[in-house]
Amino acid sequence: MKIDSRPIFDIQQEVERLGIETVRFAFADLHGVLRGKAIAAAELGAALERGVGFPSSLLLKDTSNKTVFPVFTADAGLGISELSGAADALMVADPSTWRVLPWAPKTGWLLCDVRYPNGQPVPFDARGILQRALAKLAGQGFGYVAGLEIEFHIFRLLDARLRPEDAGQPGSPPEVSLLTTGYQLLSESRYDQLEPALEILRQNLAGLGLPLRSFECEFGPSQAEVTLGALDGLAGADAMILFRSATKQILRRHGYHATFMCRPKLPNVMSSGWHLHQSLKDANGGNAFSARDDFLSETGKQFLAGLLAHAKGMCALATPTLNGYKRYRPYSLAPDRIHWGRDNRGAMLRVIGAPGAADARIENRIGEPAANPYLYFASQIHSGLDGIARRLQPGPAADAPYEARADSLPATLAEALAHLKHDAVLRDGLGSDFVDYYCRIKEAEIARFNLEVSEWEQREYFDLL
């Protein structure tokens, strides 16, 4: 399998000019975690031309890195012989994603699509799923635009817990301390306490070419928010993957622990969300959600209605961890039910628009920062397109979102998965085989969780009964 030689030649020139010694070939797995190999510069040409092999079982693991499917059967339990025996799949580099990593000496980086050795796409490649959704959107005359607001926590690393007894699937989490106490949203003094870590992060992220907009002190203890400017299509999802992985790597090298876990188990902690701002571009490059004399165009309203119609199923992709559902609670700046509001941060969908506004958009507030952006974006596109196709209307705005009469969001990951399985639009858009595969991996995580004896159970029953 050969790839266009022009961008390959450009990358190799860059490697020689900068004295790059290794290039990381990476792909995002089902959970949005980067996996890959570091290729010596001397082998770069062959890697770009033929791809880089990796065990395909990496596509079949849950968040503990346990392989969920029987890979040593004839069809790996999926009816796909190419995945049997943990046979190789290929990382095929997208030359447009080339970066030189500011924090890793003499290291380049490329994001990859996943292919079988015969060159055919692997149907479980999340990046490929978004590419197909974008192609469907383009077929309707639209492009997708996303802006990112990402909340996360930064702690000082006290003990990395790297003793042999800490190893496992998963291993022991690190011991950490706070950088700030909480409950002073956008406080300059609290920001200044975060600044040493944020300065390290800012300097390195700027070198990646990400469209950084703001660095903010969030409400909770040791909680920060970074916002990225609007990006088209695939670039927005790629930026989220790179931002998240880079943040963890950069800060770890300086003695900090960054986590995108929604609600860490620490006293007085606040949940973190990922607020996805989105709009569509029309064929002329204009904002298809803008209206001359209304807050949203008809296209925007129909897209909004599609997001509402499929909210329960998309939750499994926007909030893919068991932990993330502990965020959905009333009066918490996180949604707990399915509705929309005009510039209202308590609503699931916050509409930002006014007559003639060039930046009219819909902010989806259900996402957790650990979500796989390719799957999150794809769920928005398929849901919104269904709203447009059926000319759905969103109904009235919720002025009091925590009191409005509306369906509740799923209370658990298991409930969200059940809705995803039965959502015909999302099943058709993402692929029925993909939905079954995704649900099986997530159900394996739930099964492991249900076998654990929690601190709550020990405290509730051990003395009483």
Which CATH number characterizes residue 429's domain? 3.30.590.10
Q: Is the pLDDT of residue 7 over 90?
A: no
Q: Look at residue 358 and tell me if it is in a domain.
A: yes
Total tally of structural domains belonging to the chain = 2
Q: Is the pLDDT of residue 81 over 80?
A: yes
Q: Look at residue 456 and tell me if it is in a domain.
A: no
C-beta separation of 59 from 122 below 8 A? yes
Q: Look at residue 217 and tell me if it is in a domain.
A: yes
Question: What Cα–Cα distance (Å) separates residue 247 from each residue in 51, 242, 366, 397?
Answer: 27, 8, 22, 37
Summarize pLDDT for 97-119 with one digit per residue, the tens.
999 999 999 999 999 999 999 99
Same domain, 83 and 159: no
- Final residue of a domain: which of 74, 89, 122? 122
Same domain, 308 and 419: yes
Q: Is the pLDDT of residue 8 over 80?
A: no
Reading the block at residue 158, the tokens are 């006290």
Q: Is the pLDDT of residue 1 over 60?
A: no
Same domain, 137 and 110: no
Q: What is the pTM of this model?
A: 0.95
Q: Look at residue 251 and tell me if it is in a domain.
A: yes
Same domain, 104 and 150: no
Same domain, 201 and 243: yes
Summarize pLDDT for 281-323 with one digit per residue, the tens.
999 999 999 999 999 999 999 999 999 999 999 999 999 999 9
When pLDDT is averaged across residues 443-452 and rounded to a whole number, the result is 95
Same domain, 230 and 303: yes
When pLDDT is averaged across residues 402-410 and rounded to a whole number, the result is 93
Same domain, 268 and 359: yes
Q: Look at residue 79 and tell me if it is in a domain.
A: yes
Same domain, 114 and 170: no
- Final residue of a domain: which of 122, 141, 170? 122
When pLDDT is averaged across residues 318-337 and rounded to a whole number, the result is 92
CATH number of the domain within which 13 lies: 3.10.20.70
Same domain, 327 and 431: yes
- Final residue of a domain: which of 122, 144, 176? 122
In this prediction, residue 196 carries a pLDDT of: 95
**Eight-state DSSP code of residue 290:** -
Question: What Cα–Cα distance (Å) separates residue 314 from each residue in 229, 376, 383, 410?
Answer: 24, 8, 8, 10
Q: Look at residue 461 and tell me if it is in a domain.
A: no
Q: Is the pLDDT of residue 183 over 60?
A: yes
Same domain, 57 and 189: no
Question: Structural domain of residue 331, as residue ranges?
Answer: 133-448
Q: Look at residue 457 and tell me if it is in a domain.
A: no
Is 334 strand, coil or helix?
coil
Reading the block at residue 152, the tokens are 């996360």
In this prediction, residue 6 carries a pLDDT of: 52
Kind of pairing, strands 107-115 and 22-28? parallel
Same domain, 262 and 344: yes
Q: Look at residue 460 and tell me if it is in a domain.
A: no
Same domain, 196 and 64: no
